[in-house]
Amino acid sequence: MGIIIRLDRVLADRKMSLTELSGQVGITIVNLSNLKTGKVSAVRLSTMEAICKALDCQPGDLFEYQEET
């Protein structure tokens, strides 16, 4: 599995929708949805900064590493 993206969990904890986050960070809902579902292979640091600022979180709150078995 490798890297697991926890954007959905952080959004739920903050009671924020993907639409609200999109409006705050200026990233399309489609791109945020792709990030949320793990369909991206790279994320710009400026994007991570904007998401972390909007969600008041750390990058480690959004990503988790699980060793593949």
Contacts with 60 (C-beta within 8 Å, 6 or more apart), sequence order: none
Compute the average pLDDT of residues 55-59. 97
Give the model's pLDDT for residue 48. 96
Domain locations along the chain:
2-58
CB burial of residue 10 (10 Å; 0-12, 13-18, 19+): buried
Structure confidence by residue, pLDDT tens digits, 7-52: 999 999 999 999 999 999 999 999 999 999 989 989 999 999 999 9
Give the number of other Cβ atoms within 10 Å of residue 64's Cβ.
Answer: 13
CA atoms within 13 A on the CB side of 39: 7
Architecture of the domain defined by 2-58: Orthogonal Bundle (1.10)
pTM score:
0.89
pLDDT band at 1 (very low <50, low <70, confident <90, very high): low
